[in-house]
């Protein structure tokens, strides 16, 4: 039977945490922004670019407070929770702006960063008091952890049924075959033992890893901590696997009951604390989506991404931001859906990319709006790795992107060395978003991973200028109204 994501004790803990946040921000209000996205969506890059542009007064014409001349500046501040690791902003910026710029490492643990923003209010009464300040708390966490949130409302039997149904699909035969073969050789009703549990968990984890590779790019494959176990690696809470339903009575000492207990322990010690302490305390949310990777893998990956994001977004606490109820019960009142890596396409395809994203998230966005949250979608590149140009081929003028592919990237039997800039025709997205969901109609894109820009401009103060696509519009939607 499905379970509620939280119980009374959890709700009391969430309320107390919100009260503590309110007390800590008695003089300076605090806006908590969650940066969410499945693996490789670009969370680390987005946060680094966001913070750098705010600190250096970057080129953000679409950020209303800056365009109106009311944004005074920003500074990094100490985060009040000493138990949460700090987002490594300086190290990530160094990776992007060093002598040989590279992309920073992906998110592997939860981290947070506080940026204090100073601005002149546009409101007459507030403006008379002089400049105002807002603390922007940014919460970053691995995309794999997102996939675990729907588990809070699933029993072991329900999760097992879903996981095994996916594993037995025809498209999953290669990745899931060894796990399913091992599963068929083990009787779940036999006496519990760690050897069988570890073997099943290991085979299941291998299947999850294989399904994440670019050729498949599947998303709906929890538990997420199986892929990023951290200090939990090898613990009983991460040593379980889905099992088929049993028609006979399940003994307390059986393997089935052992794995069921471990599944429930995983939810209690891993998933619930994450939801209670971090996820349920957000005010704003950006959902970064790597549409191009899914499109390249075909309709099954697109459908899978749709299911994963719809399930995850159902866990968000969405609604109007009542200033009084916010003291004990935060709600996400604005959600931005962003298709990342827009610089991997020519700008003439950006509106089509947004249309596909809107189709992908139609049900989730509708649910959010019904709950009272405002939603918006856009195609962006937090840091632009390419430029645009044209080439002539067989008398036809083609719109291309110019950039340096990462070493080892290959296309049409050519493997790139990480030093040579190329002109690439990325392909066209269909006018009708439904096409990408239809079997047998995979979109053919020339998709390569590019290095970050190798030569950056500096502004008048000597700070690096990070080129972007629509980052200013994203910032304005997420925080602009708090700086009025």
pLDDT, tens digit, 9 for 90 and up, residues 118-138: 999 987 666 567 899 999 999
- pLDDT-based confidence at 171, cuts 50/70/90? confident
| pLDDT tens for each residue of 419-429 | 999 999 998 89
| pLDDT tens for each residue of 191-250 | 999 999 999 999 999 999 888 775 555 666 788 888 877 777 888 999 999 999 998 899
- pLDDT-based confidence at 316, cuts 50/70/90? confident
Res 324: pLDDT: 47
Rounded Cα gap, residues 1 and 341, in angstroms: 40
- pLDDT-based confidence at 437, cuts 50/70/90? confident
- pLDDT-based confidence at 328, cuts 50/70/90? very low
81 to each of 26, 181, 277, how far by Cα in Å? 16, 47, 11
| pLDDT tens for each residue of 334-363 | 989 999 999 999 999 999 999 999 999 888
pLDDT at 33 over 70: yes
The contacts of residue 279 (CB under 8 Å, 6+ apart) are 34, 149, 315
Q: How far apart are the first and last CA of the chain?
A: 47
| pLDDT tens for each residue of 133-158 | 999 999 888 777 877 888 998 999 99
Rounded Cα gap, residues 353 and 130, in angstroms: 43
Rounded Cα gap, residues 138 and 127, in angstroms: 26
In the numeric block, which tokens belong to residue 299? 């309709």
pLDDT at 163 over 90: yes
The contacts of residue 105 (CB under 8 Å, 6+ apart) are 44, 92, 95
Q: How many helices (H) and strands (E) does the chain have?
A: 16, 12
- pLDDT-based confidence at 268, cuts 50/70/90? very high
Give me the mean pLDDT over the 2-24 stretch.
Answer: 51
- pLDDT-based confidence at 1, cuts 50/70/90? very low
CATH (one of 3.40.50.450, 3.40.50.1100, 3.40.50.920, 3.40.50.300) for 8-141+278-383+468-483: 3.40.50.300
Which residue did the predictor score with more confidence, 456 or 14?
Answer: 456
Res 251: pLDDT: 95
Which stretch of DSSP H or E encloses residue 433?
Answer: none
Burial category of 453 from C-beta neighbours within 10 Å (exposed 0-12, middle 13-18, buried 19 and up): buried
Strands (E), 154-266: none
Its pTM surpasses 0.75: yes
pLDDT at 483 over 90: yes
Rounded Cα gap, residues 418 and 421, in angstroms: 8
> Within its chain, how far is the Cα of 256 from the centroid?
33
Q: What percent of the chain has pLDDT over 90?
A: 54
Task: State residue 288 phi and psi, 5-degree precision.
Answer: -90, 130
Q: Domain boundaries in the chain?
A: 8-141+278-383+468-483, 153-267, 387-437
406 to each of 103, 198, 294, 417, how far by Cα in Å? 10, 37, 20, 7
Least confident segment among 168-177, 264-273, 315-324: 315-324
In the block, residue with structure tokens 């390419």 = 386
223 prior amide bond cis, ω within 30: yes
| pLDDT tens for each residue of 80-113 | 888 889 999 999 999 999 999 999 988 778 899 9
The contacts of residue 75 (CB under 8 Å, 6+ apart) are 55, 115, 116, 118
Q: Are 378 and 323 contacting, i.e. CB atoms less than 8 angstroms apart?
A: no
In the block, residue with structure tokens 């992908």 = 360
Residue 1: CB atoms within 10 Å: 6
List alpha helices for 194-270, DSSP H. 194-211, 255-266
Give me the mean pLDDT over the 60-69 stretch.
Answer: 96
| pLDDT tens for each residue of 381-394 | 999 999 999 988 88
In the numeric block, which tokens belong to residue 323? 């200033």
Res 25: pLDDT: 47
Q: Are 132 and 126 contacting, i.e. CB atoms less than 8 angstroms apart?
A: yes
Which residue did the predictor score with more confidence, 325 or 255?
Answer: 255
Question: Whats the size of the chain, residue-wise?
Answer: 484
Res 214: pLDDT: 58
């Amino acid at each position: 039977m499905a379970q509620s994501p939280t119980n009374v004790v959890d709700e009391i803990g969430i309320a107390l945490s919100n009260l503590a946040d309110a007390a800590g921000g008695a003089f300076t209000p605090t806006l908590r922004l969650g940066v969410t996205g499945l693996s490789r969506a670009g969370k680390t890059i987005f946060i680094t670019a966001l913070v750098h542009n705010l600190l250096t007064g970057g080129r953000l014409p679409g950020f209303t407070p800056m365009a109106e001349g009311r944004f005074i500046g920003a500074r990094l501040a100490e985060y009040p929770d000493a138990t949460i690791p700090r987002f490594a902003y300086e190290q990530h910026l160094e990776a992007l702006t060093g002598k040989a710029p590279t992309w920073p490492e992906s998110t592997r643990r939860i981290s947070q960063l506080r940026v204090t923003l100073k601005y002149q209010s546009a409101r007459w009464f507030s403006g008379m008091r002089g400049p105002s300040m807002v603390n922007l708390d940014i919460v970053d966490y691995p995309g794999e952890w997102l996939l675990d949130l729907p588990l809070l409302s699933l029993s072991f039997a329900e999760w097992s049924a879903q996981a095994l149904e996916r594993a037995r699909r025809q498209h999953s035969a290669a990745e899931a075959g060894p796990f399913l073969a091992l599963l068929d050789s083990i009787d779940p009703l036999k006496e519990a033992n760690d050897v069988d549990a570890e073997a099943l968990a290991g085979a299941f984890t291998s299947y999850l890893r294989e399904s994440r590779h670019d050729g498949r790019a599947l998303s709906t494959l929890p538990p997420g901590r199986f892929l990023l176990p951290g200090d939990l690696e090898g613990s009983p809470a991460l040593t379980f696997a889905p099992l088929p339903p049993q028609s006979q009575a399940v003994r307390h000492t059986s393997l089935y009951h052992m794995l069921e207990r471990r599944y429930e322990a995983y939810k209690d010690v891993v998933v619930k604390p994450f939801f209670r302490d971090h996820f349920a305390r957000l005010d704003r949310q950006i959902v970064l989506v790597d549409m191009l990777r899914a499109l390249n893998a075909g309709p099954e990956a697109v459908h899978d991404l749709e299911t994963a994001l719809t399930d995850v977004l159902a866990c968000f606490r969405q609604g109007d931001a009542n200033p009084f109820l916010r003291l004990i019960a935060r709600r996400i009142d604005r959600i931005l859906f962003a298709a990342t890596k827009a610089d991997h396409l020519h700008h003439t395809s950006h509106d089509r990319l947004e249309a596909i994203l809107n189709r992908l998230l139609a049900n989730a966005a509708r649910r959010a709006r019904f709950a009272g949250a405002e939603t918006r979608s856009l195609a962006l590149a937090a840091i632009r790795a390419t430029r645009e140009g044209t080439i002539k081929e067989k008398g036809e003028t083609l719109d291309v992107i110019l950039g340096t592919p990462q070493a080892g990237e290959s296309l049409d039997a050519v493997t790139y060395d990480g030093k040579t800039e190329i002109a690439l025709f990325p392909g066209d997205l269909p006018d009708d978003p439904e096409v990408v969901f239809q079997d047998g109609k995979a979109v053919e894109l020339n998709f390569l991973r590019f290095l970050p820009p190798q030569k950056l401009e500096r502004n008048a103060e000597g700070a690096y200028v990070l080129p972007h696509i629509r980052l200013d519009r994203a910032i304005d939607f997420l925080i602009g109204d708090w700086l009025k």
